[in-house]
Chain A
Amino acid sequence: MLQHAESVTLQAGLFAQLLDVLKNDGYRLIGPRVRNGAVVYDDIANVNDLPRGISDEQSPGRYRIASSGSDRMFDYVVGPTSWKRFLYPPRRKLWEATRDDRGAWQPEPAADECQATAFIGVRACEISAIRILDRVLNESAYPDSAYAKRRRATFILAVGCAVPAATCFCTSVGGGPSPEADFDIALTELGTGDSHRFVLRAGSETGRGALRRLTDHLSLKPTALQATSEADQRAVDEQVRRSVGQITAVPAMGRAREILGASLRSDHWETVADRCLSCANCTMACPTCFCVDVEDVTDLTGTHAERWQQWDSCFTLSHSYLHGGSVRKTTASRYRQWLTHKLDTWHDQFGTSGCVGCGRCITWCPAGIDIRDELATLDSEVSEEAKAT
């Protein structure tokens, strides 16, 4: 029956085999690993690179990894990196040109190598973020071909969140801790020690192919991989339920558009600006922030020019530069731009919110500014004004 099972359970000790299957399929593996005291996404060689026994503690302006004391591999939540880094690289050459003796030149699009890549351990909120990037970069009148190419070459191995962080609020922006769609394989980590196991569910033809190859790979050990039992399915459901229960609801998120639409002239932006360092951490950590700048460079002879694209942030003064000075000179105006764009005007532009509730902007803000609190404050201002009139 195994060949036809929609969902299979894999002994944790054999998780390495799944990574092997992906490697044999030609994928570069990028996944979570501990570096500089944080769980970051980077190349992984094998299962030993995964953050086994690591959990994280997150709160506004604070991130610590800790030892969970178990052998589980996905008990952290999300760190400072997002998959945006690999789909939409921080720096990329767009084109180059060489000027001849007569001053003529012709731009040549830069060669853009991209390798089939498997993302290991993609959270549900991160799948939402990738879908948003698809919308922004791909589903427009001028699709970004480099993004499209990387996206097509990506295999998504998703994982459900067993232990949400205090900064998580996916459930308030239409998401949840469990991947529902747009993955190739989704896994749920259950148990520890001898009962440590993964429930694997294919979400695409590519994912089913990988699971088939895993099955073949393990055919000599029939007990290692089995159709998921009803008990395991119940355990998965229970884990999802528990996770959802641990995520604090942010009621104002549902009204974000009205709140921000009525707050353009609020004094509260100045109050936030007293704390905001305009450092751009939130936009760099955000899995959906897509602003990019271009940089024009030449070599020393001045005959070779290149144009590079690199991540930018609406928190920089140059972002709104116009002749005569930047439009958004104050931190207050820049914070307003960021929050209003993310939660309100993103809808006008792309028919969706720009926020997936991953909480990175909260954790990685050095001043500990929490968009949930700022929105709640604006909410109470707006409702008080409504009462007063």
Chain B
Amino acid sequence: MGKDAMVPATMRVRRRIQETADTFTLELEPDAGTFVFEPGQFNQLYVFGVGEVPISISGDAARPSVLVHTIRDVGTVTHALSKLRKGDTVGVRGPYGRGWPMEEARGKDVILAAGGIGLAPLRPSIRHVLANRDDYERVVIFYGARTPEDMLYPKELIKWRSRLDAKVSVTVDRADRSWHGNVGVITQLVSAARTNPSNTIAMVCGPEIMMHYMQIHLARLGVPDEAIFVSMERNMKCAIGRCGHCQYGGDFICRDGPVFAFSEIARRFRVRAL
């Protein structure tokens, strides 16, 4: 490591897309021309003078010429990020962390389940699976959002749904009459997965409570904890296992995660405030 890992590279905003009322996507031009990452990894994004936040990479790993992050405007830094426009400069450190088990999933049925903004960290792996469809057996995508208006990437969801080689089910917590789809929690979709539980890899990303119930339902289907992968979230400041903030038991989420096999964290997952 010649360069100080705490000093960010600078990249220009290439495009900004408003996804939902509070969520937007920034496309950045990699300073080095390309930015190579693995699905499930994240970057630290810095806004000049405001601060830095960890944001998962939500673009296409097969298209490294553009670096994509989908961000929800929930705090000071993400709000400042939301104000950036084409040509503005962003600080970027990364990619960091251990991503989704794409290799391990080869030759298996794959369940990809996302809740809310959890679709953003999972999208690179969905795109990878769909682009390399022959490497996988049955592919099932579950997505749950609060309302139809909160759904991320609706056009892409329609594209995925139109494929005959993937099952895509979407549900919302509440909707008005114009919504003709499922209403209810995401776990009610799980029984329709029809994968071979002993040959399935599940990748689950959403709020902890969603991952908690998904694990219960997947376990009921017979998917073992070793084959259920979840993406955990804690306060990440340095992203290199040095600042101590993202500790989760004996793991640093930034270094040892954010993706974990459920079996790795089963003993502590349901301990409160850990």
Contacts and interface: CB of A to CB of B under 8 A. Distances in A.
Interface residues of A, number: 53
A300 to B, nearest CB: 11
Nearest to B78: A323
Given A103-B88, A103-B89, A323-B74, A290 B7 contact: no
A330 B235 CA distance: 16
B62 interface: no
Contacts of A290: 242, 244
A146 to B, nearest CB: 9
Given A328-B273, A330-B273, A349-B252, A292 B247 contact: no
A107 B89 contact: no
Interface stretch (B46-54, B130-138, B148-156): B46-54
B217 interface: no
Contact of B4 (A109, A294, A305): A109
A94 interface: yes
B64 interface: no
Contacts of B245: 291, 293, 312, 319-320
Contacts of A349: 241, 247, 250-252
Interface string A295-331: 0111000100101010010100001111110011110
Contact of A319 (B78, B235, B271, B273): B235
A298 B49 CA distance: 5
A137 B242 contact: yes
Nearest to A289: B244
A321 B235 contact: yes
Interface string A333-359: 100110001001101110000000000
Given A94-B4, A104-B10, 16 more contacts: A94-B6, A103-B87, A105-B10, A105-B48, A136-B242, A142-B242, A143-B1, A145-B4, A291-B243, A291-B244, A296-B49, A297-B49, A314-B247, A319-B235, A322-B234, A349-B252
Nearest 10 pairs between A and B by C-beta? A348-B250, A291-B244, A333-B273, A298-B49, A345-B250, A142-B240, A305-B49, A323-B74, A142-B5, A296-B51
Interface of A: 94-95, 97, 99, 103-107, 109, 136-137, 140-145, 264-265, 290-294, 296-298, 302, 305, 307, 309, 312, 314, 319-324, 327-330, 333, 336-337, 341, 344-345, 347-349
